[in-house]
Amino acid sequence: MSGQALHGRVAVISGASRGLGRSMAVSLGRAGAKLALVSRTPAPFEEEGIEAANFACDVSHEDQVIALEKAVIERFGTVDILINNAGVNVRKSVTEFTLDEWNHVIGTNLTGAFLMCRAFAPHMKGKGYGRIVNMASMMSHVSLPGRAAYSASKAGLLGMTRALALELAPDGITVMAISPGPFATEMNQPLLNDPQVKQQFTSRIPVGHWGKPEDIGSLALYLCSDAASFLTGTDIVIDGGWMAQ
């Protein structure tokens, strides 16, 4: 793919300070996109030749997303790409969940994506091009004990992806989801820090290893390119073969 496949495009990426979000930011930036990097606590982003600006925002709060929209448009003038990557996970039995914990997971993973789509999708209309990528999870399709809130939020995100794809297709805007399996990111650090649990996960991955964040970056770049214009309303599972079993 051309090193300038996204030249001149403006991409908003939530949860961009680390992990998969940062990997996607690097891939899109190297392809020429201008980056609006969104996180609750912005981290320095230094990549030679990439134009990027940091914005502080908790995407689960409507007022903060409204303020973010205004700030991004003032800085870049438009938005062409939105990647909803901000996410949290609370691992415990559903009978032990507090309502606040449940609302925190749903609010960030699902409601946050809705608020971001509502804010930025209108700026993509009238161009014949637009890309929305929602970060779902293989836990949208299968699950594990202790993942009730996370699976619920990510399955809901797939439903929203399908509906929004149908709404925005006439404007040339595609809406896709990516469903990662086990990736070595900060969110999964509690699992990675437990050798026994880590090995249990690794043993269930047919390719024999956890995913690398760069793999998601490459996939996101493809989905945002002109080459992916016929892909919309579904998700791509990238899980090392976990769900094939």
Residues involved in catalysis: 150
Q: Are 168 and 175 in contact (CB under 8 A)?
A: yes
| Strand bridging mode 10-14 / 34-39 | parallel
Q: How many helices (H) and strands (E) does the chain have?
A: 8, 7
- Contacts of 169-173 with C-beta under 8 Å, sequence gap 24+, read 169/232, 169/233, 171/124, 171/125, 171/126, 171/127, 171/128, 171/130, 172/127, 172/128, 172/129, 172/130, 172/229, 173/121, 173/124, 173/125, 173/129, 173/130, 173/131, 173/132
